[in-house]
Structure 1
């Protein structure tokens, strides 16, 4: 029997995946949770052969858990599940020596197949995800423009933004105009959301 552990913070997806995995005769889900710190504690205690980790969770991310498990030389296979095709995340996953990196919207049987392939010593990365990362448009923003964008996340007005960055309001308006132009967005919020989705912030 292959012991699995699942850490996924979306309750419905967590429950569905546990049911799916337990349908396999050779699989047994020995634990699941929706919090990163709890997951790390339970994985360490339960010693599963395969752990499936959501990339973003409360307390600790899937990537942080993977790094801690590798640092502790835990003899297990690690699969990261994500909705984010971000180059930065993928690079961190590679650095953490994960065995699989899969998209959540993949067919359910692809997760089952990936687990078996990984147990046989293979590494499985979702082809759509890898292709998307390889074809990713590079960040067009300068370091200063990124600083302005970060400040935009918490600052509402141009005046407040200028004060927080020690710039004139005119200079801030110029930066924002350049950011909107380079990102092809129509508003400050759209620019922030795009930059976050692309992993630039």
Structure 2
């Protein structure tokens, strides 16, 4: 199994490379810190499996890179990992064609096992994190909250989501009623500080 590791944290990247390199059926053929380099590395090194972080150097998204890899090299498997409980990463990864998705708090032996099962055609995805249980917001409300986290005004949110300002105001009132917060800014601060929303993550 020819593996590429795309991870911006040097210590984690090197420790993963050592663990993978110790396996009889695996070989690390490429490493990088920026997801922008991932697609080129797959072609250059004939990679079988890419293990890639969501958030990498220079603001690059591993999910965006995964989509490019799956479009250009459909036979290459992609396993995406993250340490953030961002509530839309799992769905974004599924939409991009990512084969497996894991959180970084798993053990190394679990990761190796998932890498092998992914190569055998079995997808692994986590259950949704507890933000939606804690704060049961629908997709439109989450989209509004994300834009609030990006410091957009109500008018800008309305324009971006093709809604009226009155509709945005109504949604915000409903979000506050659901969550018990008395301010949308307080809710936004909680969402960002907890890692449930990562502002300005480009999905394109």
Whether TM-score is above 0.5 comes out as yes
Provide the aligned C-alpha RMSD in A. 3.6
Cα deviation for residue 87 of structure 1 reads 3.5
Is the 1:86–1:133 Cα contact (8 Å) retained in structure 2? no
Q: Structure 2 matches for 1:47-196, cutoff 5 A?
A: 47-59=46-58, 60-125=60-125, 129-132=126-129, 136=133, 137-139=135-137, 146=145, 149-150=148-149, 153=151, 183=179, 191-196=187-192
Inter-partner Cα distance in structure 1 for 2:110 and 2:143 = 42
Unaligned runs of 5+ in 1: 155-160, 166-173
Inter-partner Cα distance in structure 1 for 2:142 and 2:86 = 19
Q: Quick check: which has more Rg, 1 or 2?
A: 1
Does the residue aligned with 2:97 lie in a helix, a strand or coil? Answer: coil
Structure-1 residue corresponding to 2:41: 42
> Looking at both structures, which has the greater relative contact order when contacts are Cα pairs under 8 Å and sequence separation is at least 6?
2
Q: TM-score, normalised by structure 2?
A: 0.71
Inter-partner Cα distance in structure 2 for 1:18 and 1:132 = 28
Structure-2 residue corresponding to 1:199: 197
Structure-2 residue corresponding to 1:33: 32
Structure-1 residue corresponding to 2:161: none
Q: TM-score, normalised by structure 1?
A: 0.72
Distance 1:108 1:145, change over 3 A: closer
Inter-partner Cα distance in structure 1 for 2:143 and 2:130 = 25
Unaligned runs of 5+ in 2: 158-168, 200-204
Cα deviation for residue 71 of structure 1 reads 1.7
Cα deviation for residue 120 of structure 1 reads 1.5
May I ask how many residue pairs the two structures share in their alignment?
182
